[in-house]
Amino acid sequence: MRTAMKTNSRSKPQSGPLVPPTRVEVAASAGAYSVVIGPGTLATLPQLLDQAGVGTRRIIVSSPIVWDLHGRALSKASSERAPILVQDGERFKNATTVGRLYESLIQCAADRATVVIAVGGGVVGDLVGFAAATYLRGLRLVQIPTTLMAQVDSSIGGKVGINHLLGKNLIGAFHAPSLVVADPVVLETLPRREFRAGLYEVMKYGVIASPTLFTRLETSLPALFAREHDTLGAVVGESCRIKAEIVSADERESGRRRVLNFGHTIGHALEAATRFRRFRHGEAVAYGMLAALALGVQRGVTPTEVESRVARLIAQLGPLPPVVDLSTRDILNALSHDKKIVAGKLHFIAATGLGDTTTLTDVTEKQIRGALKAIGIARA
């Protein structure tokens, strides 16, 4: 853990949004909050924070790489001389890193009037969110997602947490942010692999809730990979709208919110089985979606044409890390620690069509092995 002493940034100064940003409202038990989406919105972050009424003591937490890229554009939003910097990557999303973050907050004399601003991808957002939820029994939180994955998914909904070697996100809390600001401009600096990983999560929304969004992905890949702001803004906005609607109706994942786990059951097991070092989260979800589709076809609930269409789009996005060296035993062991187990039963989300799903709670080990074999994992 260290504190940055300068804001050496390669990002371009922004003059503010050229058009009014999109606002998506999310209901939460602690109070509704806004997701503000649009090119150039980060240039108005101090004003957005004032409008959200989060208080004037503001501490930014980011990663060294993200701060180097975007620090100059964000430093005016902090009341502190420098941000707190944490290591990024799933393998750092653990209790050790959180402990160091607590130490930094104590050294900064953070109190209950302090708002913590998480600037980074999903790992930073989850990690900082968990610290905000637990330090002094809760500090206000603002999410500034800088990856496509975080903009469309992890920054919204209030789920925060850390990993354990036995499973992903096994330690966590529900702690809704006071504000989320998603600026597509910051995605220009995102490495192509990270960008692709986010597109898999966007694809998930298309499968579970929006055939229109899925079709937009199929037809807009060149514009998306060119990071065209209007196309990106539309995709991010629609994804945020879908997630906001779902989590507003089921904040604590007691029912409908489980649909967001499409592709995540096997995906999380892949991440855990490889100790969070091989896959970007979206890549693991891509494999998880392929496995869920194969499982749905086995069970007779997923049309083969849906499986083929999704598999084709995943292939178009580019190669995924290999899985042939993994064993079914390791994946099954990771599944046994899945946080979504309820009363001893795993909940698998299966697609019944583009935009429609069903939940399977009686999946057998044989069927899981069949789904794993379909994605290339056949070794015992």
Whether 153 and 278 map to the same domain: the answer is no
- Shared domain for 268 and 359, answered yes or no, is yes
Assess whether 152 and 264 both reside in one domain.
no
Q: Structure tokens of 5? A: 């002493």
Give the position of tokens 């109190």.
111
Question: pLDDT tens-digit profile of 178-222?
Answer: 999 999 999 999 999 999 999 999 999 999 999 999 999 999 999
243 is catalytic: yes
Q: Verify whether residue 366 is a known catalytic residue.
A: no
Whether the predicted pLDDT of 11 surpasses 50: no
Active site residue 253: yes
Nearest to 140 by CA among 101, 169, 179, 106: 179
Region at 4 (left for phi over 0; alpha for psi -120 to 50; beta for the rest): beta
Judgement on whether residues 250 and 141 belong to the same structural domain of the protein: no
The catalytic residue among 72, 93, 159, 204 is 159
- What are the tokens at 78? 């902090």
What pTM value is reported for the model?
Answer: 0.91
Predicted local confidence at residue 86, as pLDDT: 96
Q: Is 76 among the catalytic positions? A: no
Is the pLDDT at 158 greater than 60? The verdict is: yes
Rounded Cα distance between 371 and 378, Å, is 10
In a domain, 15, yes or no: yes
Among the three residues 156, 189, 222, which one is the final residue of a domain in this structure? 189
> What is the reported pLDDT for 15?
53
Q: pLDDT tens digit string along 299-341?
A: 999 999 999 999 999 999 989 999 999 999 999 999 988 766 6
- Same domain as 216, residue 181: no
Asked if residue 332 and residue 343 are part of one domain, the reply reads: yes
Residue 8's pLDDT is: 36
Same domain as 13, residue 121:
yes
Specify the residue for token string 């006071």.
178
Q: Are residues 35 and 166 in the same domain?
A: yes
75-92 mean pLDDT:
91
Q: Quick check: is 201 catalytic?
A: yes
Q: Considering the candidates 257, 271, 280, 307, report the single residue annotated as catalytic.
A: 257
Q: What is the DSSP letter of 88?
A: -
CB 148 within 8 A of CB 285: no
- β 33-37/356-360 pair status: unpaired
Active-site choice (163, 169, 194, 201): 201
Q: Which of 9-13, 145-149, 233-237, 271-275 has the lowest mean pLDDT?
A: 9-13
Q: Residue 268 catalytic?
A: yes
Question: Quick one: 185 and 196 in the same domain?
Answer: no
The answer to whether residue 12 scores a pLDDT higher than 50 is no
d(CA 243, CA 249): 10
**Which residue, 189, 208, 240, sits at the end of a domain?**
189
379 domain-assigned:
no
The token duo for 34 is 């806004």
Per the structure, the count of domains in the chain is 2
Whether 132 and 158 map to the same domain: the answer is yes
**Candidate list 253, 271, 283, 307, residue with the active-site label:** 253
Q: Give 8-60 as a DSSP string.
A: ---SPP----SSPPEEEEE--TT--EEEEE-TTGGGGHHHHHHHHT--SEEEE
In the Cβ-directed half-sphere of 307, how many Cα atoms lie within 13 Å?
20
Q: What is the band of 20 on the pLDDT scale with cuts at 50, 70, 90?
A: confident
Give the CATH number of the domain where residue 84 resides.
Answer: 3.40.50.1970
Position 103 in a domain: yes
| Residue that has been written with the tokens 């969070």 in this structure | 276
My answer on whether 87 and 40 are in the same domain is: yes
The verdict on whether 228 is a catalytic residue reads no
Six token digits for residue 141: 């939180």
What mean pLDDT comes out for the span 98-121? 96
CA gap 66, 119 in Å, rounded: 8
| Residue 154 clears pLDDT 90, i.e. is over it | yes
Look up the CATH number of the domain holding residue 197: 1.20.1090.10
Mean pLDDT taken over the chain: 92
Domain assignment present for residue 207? The answer is yes
More reliable by pLDDT, 16 or 10: 16
Between the alpha carbon of residue 329 and those of residues 91, 372, 378, the distances in Å are 22, 11, 10
Please check whether residue 380 lies inside any domain of the structure. no
For a pLDDT cut of 70, what percent of the chain falls above it?
93
- For 11, the domain range is 2-189
Residue 192 among the catalytic residues: no
- On whether both 214 and 277 belong to a single domain, the answer is yes
Q: Which of 57, 93, 229, 261 is catalytic?
A: 261
Which listed residue (168, 268, 271, 307) is catalytic?
268
Q: Tell me: pLDDT of 289 over 70.
A: yes
In a domain, 327, yes or no: yes
Measure the CA–CA gap between 73 and 43, rounded to whole angstroms.
7
* Last residue in a domain, options 130, 161, 189: 189
Contact (Cβ atoms closer than 8 angstroms) between residue 379 and residue 294: no
Across the chain, the runs of DSSP E, i.e. the strands, are 2-3, 22-26, 33-37, 57-62, 84-85, 114-120, 140-145, 159-164, 167-174, 179-182, 348-353, 356-360
DSSP 8-state assignment for residue 342: B
- Token look-up 């039963």 returns 345
